Each structure stands twice: as C-alpha cells, then as structure tokens.
Chains A and B, each alone.
Chain A
Amino acid sequence: MKQDFLQIDVAKEYPEFSLTANLTVAEGEFFSLVGPSGCGKTTLLRLISGLAVPDRGRIILDGQDLTGVAVSERRIGFVFQDYALFPHLTVKGNIEYGLKVRRWSTAQRERRLRELLALFELETLANRRIQELSGGERQRVALARALAPEPFLLLLDEPFAALDYGLRRRLRRELKALQTQLGFTAIFVTHQQEEALSLSHRLAVMEGGRILQVGSAPEVYSKPAHPFVAKFLGDANLIPCTVEVTGAGLLVTPEAGAAFTLPVDGGEVAEPGSYLLMIRPEDVVLAEKEVVYTGELMTVEYLGHGFYAEIKTGADLILKILVEKTTALKAGQTRGVSFRKQALKLIPIN
C-alpha cells in the first residue's frame, strides 16, 4: 500500500474565495473532506478530477503528475451530489457509458456490467429509465457507473445529501463495506460530521478554503487542533482558561471556575499561557468533589438514553452536559460539575 498514493498541493483563486490545500492520501484509504457549505471541499474535488484547473501547484496520482491531463484521461471516478445520471439512458446504459467511451470490447463490457448489476443489486432494474428510480436506487446506479471503468480513485461529492436519514445510514454502511471489499481509494465530501466520523480512515476538516486538521476520526474528535474543528465535529464546550506549569503538572484555571491540575501526558502542552479548554458534553460530569463549576440547570431535555442539560455558571458561561438517565435532573436545580481530565483538550489561542 502506497502511503503517498495521491499527493495534493494546490491553490485556486476565485474573486470571492480562495482555496489552498496540501494533502496526502494513501492507497486504499477512505478519506473524508468535511466542513460547512462553501468551505471549498467541492472545489477541491473538482480540482482533483480535473473539472477545475488549479492556479498553482500540482496533483500527483500514483506517481503521475496530473497537470495538463484531460479530465477524460485521468481515470478518476466521480459521484455527483445530484448523481448527474443521464436521463436519456437506462440504468444499464448509464453504467455502460464509461466502458463504451473507453472502447471496452463487448464481451468485457457485458461481463463488467453483470458484475456491477449483481454487486449493486440492480439486475431487475437494468432496463429501467432513470426517471423511474427511487432516490436510493439512483444513488446505487451513480456509484456503479463511477466504479465501472475501474478508476484509480473515486471521488464522492455528498452522495447521500438528497436522501432521508434512515436510507442514508444504510447506504453509508453499504458503501463502507463495499470499499473494504473492493479496496478502492476514495475521497468523500460531506458536511455531516456523523458521516465523516463513521466512514473514514482519516479525515480533513476544512473551513474558509483551508484545511484545519487532518487525522483519524477519534484523533480529530478528541484532540481538535482548532476551536472550529472542536465545534464542527460534535458538540463542544469551549472555555477560555489560563495554564501555568507547576511541579505537579499543569495548573488550569478556567474562566470564572475553580482551578485544577492536569498531569502532563506526553508533554503536549508545555507552554504556559492562554488557551481554550475543549470538553465534550459527555465528558462533563455531575460531581460533589473537585467541582470546577457550580450553577443552575437552565434547560433539561430528556433524550431517552439520558439527559442533555445546560448549566449557567458565572461570567455568562453556559456549559452543555450529557448525563446518563440514572441521574434525575430537573431545571432550576443547582449542581456542581467537574471534567473527565483525560478527555479534555487545550487548544492554543493564536
């Protein structure tokens, strides 16, 4: 497996927006680009596929520089957000399209077609027109069509965006299984953190045309390097704090809260100064000892498997917490909370 299967180092300027990206994707990897709408993730996909041309930099796929290689010659599959299935062709016609324009022989084409129809359970729909298909079926045809000419790389631009939640979850699992089975390299664009976290080997969080952090899902989720990453992936409490280095470790003083000591692990934070303390709601615990904040419960929502609540602490700080249902919570109560220290992350303020 080649670690630097795809190397991207590009920049693209638009009048109102600019994108710079530097990334490496390994062979067989399922890589996600995640970020809000307009962060540049679709633009990056279009640059990789050749549908857009970068102003600077290059893209190297399996050792070959793609600069100047036409879209049609790149052998990069693309699954579009609204599928872009050819309305004048049948399911079969759509899947075969790439094989025909690449001049596969009839025998090869038919073999490949049968294979794909079986793989995507589309046999009975082979002669249907696209207009007669459901959303999920269209999605499968789009995927089959993109994979048909055996691309070196598959790009997926929010392929589940148009589907309802349940179907999206099912197809997500199917896609993951398929990728594991066939082993193709995929770059998946989504603005849904849940999708990115559950699918990818690694992911990149983007915002405003920049890549903020790259890493595996647990890494990026638990150790966000940037406040935006923390907020974008899941719910997060971000509390301004000061850090001093003491003999026992780091002395953390959250704004309007009680100071506590954090053992130094791996020397990740060694510099004293101002930081943002990131703690996930599920890592805030109701406590009587080592209380960091005490405050009034503002909102209490019953979620079935537990409660979601917001605690108003001093200095206008509202803490989001998620607790198990064994705890009885009521709005108006005053409770103390502390943090699970190992889940806490200090993000430097630049």
Chain B
Amino acid sequence: MRRPGWGHLLPACLLVLFYLPVLVVLGQAFLRPNAWSELVSFLDSQPFRRILAFSTTQAFWSAFFSVALALPGAYFFGRYEFPGKRLLRSVMVLPFMLPGILVVLSMVVFYGQNGVFNQWLATLFPGRKLAFSGLYGFKGIVLTHVFYNFAFCLRTLGERWERISPQLEEASAVLGASPLRTWRGGVLPLLAPTIGDVGVLVFLYSFLSFTVVLVLGGYLYQTFEVLIYIEYNTKLNFARASMLAGIQMALLAVVLSIKRWTQRLVQQHSGEAAPLPPLHPKRQPVRTGVFLVYLGGSLLFFLLPLVFVLIRSLKQRGLLDGSWTFDNYRLLWGDSFRFAVGSDLLTVIGTTLGLSITVGVATAILAYLLARGRRQLPWGKLDLWLQLPMGVSFLTFAFGLIRLVGRSLHPALLIIWAQVFLAFPLVYTLLRTARREWGEELLAAAQTLGASGRELFWTVEFPLMRKALGSAIAYGIALSLGDLSAVLVLGQGKVITLSVAVYRLIGHYHFPQAVALGTLFIILAVLLFLIVERRLKHEAGFFTN
C-alpha cells in the first residue's frame, strides 16, 4: 500500500510478458490482408472438418473412458476406509508428473506391435494370431490419454464422493427407495457436477494433446496443436500456423467457459467428509473381492508399461527375450546417440535440469510475490487474467513468442519465458491457496511480539510456506520436464532436453537407447514426485493416522 507503483509493476510486467506473444499470434491470425477470406475457406475445407472431428471425438472418448473406469474405484474410495488408502491416493498423482514422451514410450513398449502385450497374447493363445495393432491410431491415442488421466479422475471423484454424506443414502433407503433409485436421486445429482468438471478437464487435456498425437498419430491423426507444429516447423507456413492457433484459441474459449460453469456447479455443493466404515473382507466378501480385482487391474494397467520400460532397458537390444545387460545404457554415451539426438548425454541432462529448475524456481518466486502482494492490492479481475494461460496452448504461446522476439534472444531464454507462463496458473493457484490457509493474524501476532521486516518473513512466512513452495517448484519442474512442443519450436534444434532426446530416439527407431534414457528419465520424474508426495503425506497426516 505504501508503494503502489512497485506493487503494480509486477502484475503489469507479467501481463505484458504473457499477453504480448498471444496478441502477436492473434494479430497474425486475423489482421493480415486476406486473413478472413482464408479463414472462411479453411473452415469450409475437408482438413478442418477432419481435424475438428478427430480432436473432439478422441477427446470425448478419452474423457468418457477415463471417468467411466474411474467411477467404480471412486465408489470404494468414497465409501470405505481401507489400509493403504492414503498411499494409493498419493500414488495417483504420479502419472501427472510423468512427461508425455515417457508415457508414449511406455505405451509403445507395452502395447506396440512387438510390445509386451502382444507377446503375452501370442503366448496365451498360441496359433490364434491375436494381436493389438491399434496403438498407432485412434484407439492407441485414446488408450494413452486414459492412461494419463484415469488416476486423476479416480482421485478427484473419490474425494468428492467422500463428501457426500452416507446419511443421505440411508435416509433415502429408510424412506423406501430402492438402491438404484437412491443412487439416481441421492448420489448422482451430487456427484454429477464433479463428473462433468473432471470430464471437461480430461477433454481439454486430450484436445490439446501434442506429444501423444505427434508420435502415435502419424500424418493421419492430428490435433490442432500437432498441425500448428507441422505447418510451422515442416512447411514453414507461418500464416497458416497463426490461423490455426487463432481457431484453437476460440475453440478453447468455448471449452473453458464450459469448465467455468461446471466448476461453479461443483462449488455449489460441497459438503464435509464424514467418517467412513472400513471395508471388511469377512463381512463384505464380494465387495472386497471386486475391489481387489479392480485395484489390481488398475495398478497393472498403470504400472506395467512403466515397469517394462525399465525391464527392457536392461535387456539385450531392448528385446524382451534378450539377455540381461547394461549395453543399452552404455550406448547412451556412444556416437549413435549423439548422431540421433544431436547432443551428448551429459549436455542433455544438464540442459534439462538447468532449464527445469530455473523454470520451477522462477515460476514459484513470481507466483509467490504476486500471491503475497495480492492481499494488499485491489487488483480486481487480475486472477482471472492470470488464469488465462490455461486457455492458450504451449505451441500457440511458443509460436507467438518466436514471432515477437525472433532470434534476438537465446533459445533457452525463450523456452524459460514460455514455460514460466504456462506453469504460472497452476503454481499461482497452489501458492495462493496455501497463503490463504493461514490468516494475516499470524503476521500481526508476530509484529506485536516484536518482529518486523525480514525477520517477519524468515520466522513466520517462510516456514509456513516452505512446503507449498516446494510443491510449487516441483510442479514447475515437472511441467518443464514434460514439455516437448515449446522446446521443439523455441529451441530451434539447439536446446535438447530429455523429452526431445527421447522423442528423437523413438523417431530414429533407437529403441534400446530410448528405453534406457526413458528409465533414467522416469527415475528423475519419480524423485520429483516423491518431493511433492512428502508434502502430501505431511498434510494428510499419513504417519500420524
């Protein structure tokens, strides 16, 4: 309040740094000569209809299957207490921390033409010629999106279900309603907004999917995001790329407004979590059995592809029936690696860590400063404006950035710029929520006890925000690790991260090295996950309960 000039400088800078590239894209898309006539003719063309149809149908089915498969699990998580529940729940964050390219790699290793799944089918049904051949195509893309989003749906729906009082169902039953009627009249209406909300979110992610569709879709299946990349990178057609980005933004705006609506519905009905009865194997043998089968199935669905990346990385030439070896890891130091990837391993790892840590720390600091300043300055709708990066894809932003600054800045700086802004909404929300959890009273109390200035920060603010800051940094790092598109566009072939390296290895059919590098990458992602998880554990009282 004392220095409004400085206080307003930060959000003003952030808004400019973020919106300028976006405006450049929009300007190029709609303010060029002939822009509108081109747009109209494109909207009327076969390719547009094909992409729109593919993007929406795959996103719809991805959302549908993710939610449908998650619902039975959500029932058990929302209605029963069982040992290991908290641990399972925190493990469900893991897929979200996995970079997209790793998910693709795992899927290829497991469900690919010569993958583990098909070998098992062949062993189980010899002579029947059963094989899953749809990984590179519509089914494979949906399957991968479900792999990615299913656990998140299960977690969110389960938590919501816990907050629907079991007494409602009991009351309904006492009034004479059948179980089906009870579910339709008592539970479903309360659960539906969350189902919708989660569904829209999965739809959004799948609609924007880049890495998965780039690798698995080939030239037949493309989302807008992939097409922007192809137009820009392969065909060097900037005008067309901007137009696509503009169209995608408009479509995203529609999805996001639906999301806002579902989110409001969710907030309307939020109850308190009630204590749940334990799931008793003796008293509910059938239910327990069904749950165990479900749980086992989902864990296998979830973990097997990852585990087999590890196993195959230790096999001769990456083949399942090869002998055990470290050769694949040795190959990472070889010339073929450098040839395929364009850089050596240590540089790749160094670049990746350098970029992602910078992005994580920078995003957390900026978001924190803003969250802190937010409590004094009436910035009105600022929060909404800062949430908007959610409605702008990586590629759109990266593309706008390169049109805006061109080659005047180092590619690494451009990548950091882009990733910071794309990580910003999530990190900001996380820190703002954490900052709100403890009131201003604590700072007031510290002041009355004699603390001021820096002391106030280091003795109260920092200790209380430490865990949230840790998570915020980890989220920023995870996002940076997982980003392929912004690095491909902004790195101009000079900045090679782990994601790019794995992508190139897959592109060159260097599977042995891809799985070896993938394993190292998975370990990194899991370590990161453990940092976030540690915080969750403390918060959920994992050890104390």
**Bound pair (A, B):** yes
Contacts from A to B (Cβ < 8 Å): 49-51, 70-78, 80, 82, 84-88, 97-98, 100-102, 145-146, 148-149
* Pick from A71, A75, A98, A149: contact of B452, CB under 8 Å: A71
- Rounded to whole Å, the gap between the CB of B138 and the closest CB of chain A is 51
Binds A, one of B25-33, B325-333, B437-445: B437-445
19 interchain pairs (CB within 8 A)? Answer: A51-B447, A70-B447, A70-B452, A71-B444, A71-B452, A72-B448, A72-B450, A72-B452, A78-B444, A80-B444, A82-B439, A85-B445, A86-B446, A87-B464, A88-B464, A97-B446, A97-B451, A97-B459, A100-B459
User: Residue on B with the closest CB to A76?
Assistant: B448
Q: Tell whether B455 is near chain A: CB-to-CB under 8 Å.
A: yes
- Give me the 10 closest cross-chain CB pairs, A-B, nearest first: A98-B449, A84-B441, A72-B452, A84-B445, A78-B448, A71-B447, A101-B451, A88-B463, A102-B450, A101-B450
What are the residues of chain B within 8 A of A101 when measuring CB–CB? 446, 449-451, 455, 459
**Further pairs besides A82-B441, A98-B449, A101-B446: 5, Cβ < 8 Å:** A72-B448, A86-B464, A97-B451, A101-B455, A149-B450
CA distance A98 to B444 in the complex (A): 12
Q: Select which of A70, A80, A100 is within 8 A of B441 by beta carbon.
A: A80
Verify A71–B448 contact, CB threshold 8 A.
yes
Contacts of B445 in A (CB 8 A): 78, 80, 84-86, 145
Q: How far is the CA of A100 from the CA of B449 in the complex (A)?
A: 10
User: What is the distance, in angstroms, from A150's C-beta to the closest C-beta of chain B?
Assistant: 11
Residues of B with C-beta under 8 A to A78: 444-445, 448
At the interface, yes or no: B460 with Cβ under 8 Å from chain A?
Answer: yes
Q: What chain B residues lie within 8 Å of A72 (beta carbons)?
A: 447-452
Complex: chain A residue closest to B442, CB-CB: A84
Picked from A49, A82, A86, A87, the residue with its CB within 8 Å of the CB of B448 is A49
Across the interface, which residues of B come within 8 angstroms of A77, CB to CB? 448-449
B446 — which chain A residues lie within 8 A by C-beta? 86, 97, 101
In the bound assembly, the distance between CA atoms of A104 and B463 in angstroms comes to 22
Which residues in B have their C-beta under 8 angstroms from that of A146? 448-449
Give Cα A108–Cα B117 distance, bound, in whole angstroms: 71
Count: A-B pairs, CB below 8 Å = 69
Residue of B nearest to A89 (CB): B463
Residue contact A84 to B452, C-beta cutoff 8 Å = no
Residues A51 and B449 in contact in the complex (CB < 8 Å), given A84-B439, A88-B463, A101-B455: no
Contact in complex: A51, B450 (CB < 8 Å): no
Least CB separation from A155: chain B residue: B448
B443-485 toward A: CB 8 Å interface, digit per residue (1/0)? 0111111111001000110011000000000000000000000
- Which single member of B441, B442, B444, B449 contacts A149 (CB below 8 Å)? B449
Q: Could you tell me the distance in whole angstroms from the C-beta of A321 to the nearest C-beta in chain B?
A: 44
CB distance from A265 to the nearest CB of B (A): 46
Contacts of B441 in A (CB 8 A): 80, 82, 84
**Residue pair A86, B442 in contact (C-beta under 8 Å):** yes
- Return chain B residues, CB-CB under 8 Å to A49: 448
Q: Which residues of B contact A73 (CB under 8 A)?
A: 450, 452
B444 CB contacts on chain A under 8 angstroms: 51, 71, 78, 80, 84
CB distance from A200 to the nearest CB of B (A): 22
Please indicate the chain B residues that have their CB under 8 angstroms from the CB of A76 in the complex.
448
Chain A residues lying within 8 Å of B451, measured Cβ to Cβ, are: 72, 97, 101
Instruction: Specify which of A51, A87, A148 is in contact with B438 (CB 8 Å cutoff).
Output: A87
Q: Are A86 and B460 in contact (CB under 8 A)?
A: yes
- Cβ contacts under 8 Å, B448 to chain A: 49, 51, 71-72, 74, 76-78, 146
CA distance A258 to B446 in the complex (A): 61
Asked if A98 and B450 sit within 8 Å, CB to CB, the answer is: yes
Q: Which residues of A contact B459 (CB under 8 A)?
A: 97, 100-101
CA distance A145 to B442 in the complex (A): 13
A146–B441 CA distance with the chains assembled, in angstroms: 14
| In the complex, chain A residues whose CB is within 8 Å of the CB of B438 | 87
Residue of B nearest to A142 (CB): B445
A97 and B449 in contact (CB under 8 A), knowing A80-B444, A86-B460?
Answer: yes
> Which residue of B has the minimal Cβ distance to A72?
B452
Shortest A48–chain B CB gap in Å is 10
Residue of A nearest to B443 (CB): A84
Bound form: Cα–Cα A258–B444 in Å: 58
CB-defined interface of B417-448 with A at 8 Å, one 1/0 digit per residue?
00000000000000000000011011011111
Q: Which residue of A lies closest to B462 (CB)?
A: A88
- A149→B449 CA distance, assembly (Å): 7
The CB with the most chain B CB atoms within 10 A, among A49, A70, A88, is that of A88
A184 to B452, CA, bound (A): 25
Determine the distance from Cα of A70 to Cα of B444 in the docked complex, in whole angstroms.
Answer: 12
| Chain B, residue nearest A132 (CB) | B544
Write the nearest CB–CB distance from B406 to chain A, whole angstroms: 48
**What is the minimal beta-carbon distance from A291 to any residue of chain B, in angstroms?**
56
Closest partner residue, chain B, to A80 (CB atom): B441
Most buried by A among B438, B447, B448, B459: B448
Tell me the bound Cα distance from A146 to B460 in angstroms: 16
Q: How far is the CA of A51 from the CA of B446 in the complex (A)?
A: 11
Contacts of A74 in B (CB 8 A): 448
Whole-angstrom CA separation of A101 from B449 in the bound complex: 8
Instruction: Please indicate the chain B residues that have their CB under 8 angstroms from the CB of A51 in the complex.
Output: 444, 447-448
**Which of chain A's residues have a CB closer than 8 A to the CB of B455?**
101
How many whole Å from B437's CB to the nearest CB in chain A? Answer: 9
User: B residues within 8 A CB of A145?
Assistant: 445, 449
Which B residue sits closest to A77, measured CB to CB? B448
Closest chain A residue to B437 by CB distance? A87
In Å, the complex CA distance between A80 and B444 comes to 9
- Which residues on A sit within 8 Å (CB–CB) of B452? 70-73
Rounded to whole angstroms, the CA-CA distance of A37 and B460 in the bound complex is 29
Complex Cα spacing A98 to B463, Å? 16
Determine the distance from Cα of A271 to Cα of B455 in the docked complex, in whole angstroms.
61
B contact residues around A98 at 8 Å (CB): 449-450
Write out the residue numbers on chain A whose beta carbons fall within 8 Å of the beta carbon of B460: 86
Give the CA-CA distance A73 to B46 in the complex, in Å: 74
Task: Give chain A nearest CB distance to B335 CB in angstroms.
Answer: 53
Nearest-CB residue, chain A, relative to B541: A131
Expressed in whole angstroms, the Cα–Cα distance for A102 and B452 within the complex equals: 10
Q: What's the Cα separation between A148 and B449 when bound, in Å?
A: 9
- Complex alpha-carbon distance, A73 and B452, angstroms: 9
